[in-house]
Amino acid sequence: MSELKAHISDTLKTAMRAKEKHRVTVIRTILAECKRVEVDERIELDDARVIAILDKMNKQRKDSIQQFTDGGRDDLAQIEKDELAIISEFLPTQLTDEEIATIVKAAIEETGASSMQQMGAVMAIVKPQVQGRADMGQISKQVKAQLG
């Protein structure tokens, strides 16, 4: 079992002892998604894959918050924000804009990219380095800015 998954399981036990109902529900959702991936793909998850799952769940919550806010359902948006906060606890610290710019610049130099046609090659190098630590939309904008 990955260290991160074990940490999530330990946090679940602590939340259960503290009778934090909403927190228990969200953490169980995280563990259920991890288990689903393990069963579907017949693999044991490592920390990188758990972070990818958490990152996906994080993105889903952000999209839901936006839709609920646009639809005037602030009550549902607040529930999603609460879930987002719990999921974010397990993600690595987010990168700053300067750190992202440095990673993108290094990837551009490594690939020798000089135009937007080579953006895919740059993104292929950057993505594993920033998974779970930065929004891919933000990364894409940074790559476009530096290539364009």
Q: What share of the chain is helix, strand, coil (3-state, %, to 5)?
A: 80, 0, 20
Distance CA 124, CA 62 (A): 24
CATH code, domain carrying 55: 1.10.1510.10
Please give the structure tokens belonging to residue 143.
């790559």
- Is the domain of 78 the same as that of 108? no
Contact 120, 92 (CB under 8 A): no
- Is the domain of 50 the same as that of 77? yes
Please give the structure tokens belonging to residue 37.
């991936």
Q: Which domain holds residue 52?
A: 3-88
CA angle 80, 81, 86 (to 5 degrees): 95
Predicted model pTM: 0.82
State yes or no: pLDDT of 140 exceeds 80. yes
- Is the domain of 26 the same as that of 72? yes
CA 13, 18, 19, 20: dihedral to nearest 10 degrees? -90
- Is the domain of 76 the same as that of 13? yes
Please give the structure tokens belonging to residue 71.
């639809």
- Is the domain of 15 the same as that of 80? yes
- Is the domain of 84 the same as that of 104? no
- Is the domain of 103 the same as that of 81? no
Q: Give the residue carrying structure tokens 């879930």.
A: 83
Angle, helix 136-147 to helix 97-111, in steps of 10 degrees? 60
- Is the domain of 66 the same as that of 31? yes
Structure confidence at residue 38 as a pLDDT band (50, 70, 90): very high
Q: What is the pLDDT of residues 42-93, one digit of tens each?
A: 999 999 899 999 999 999 999 999 999 999 999 999 999 999 999 999 998 8
Q: What is the pLDDT of residues 6-34, one digit of tens each?
A: 999 999 999 999 999 999 999 999 999 99
- Is the domain of 11 the same as that of 44? yes
* Total residue count of the chain as it appears in this document: 148
26 vs 135, more confident: 26
33-52 b/e (C-beta count within 10 Å ≥ 16 → b): ebeebeeeeeeebeeebbbb
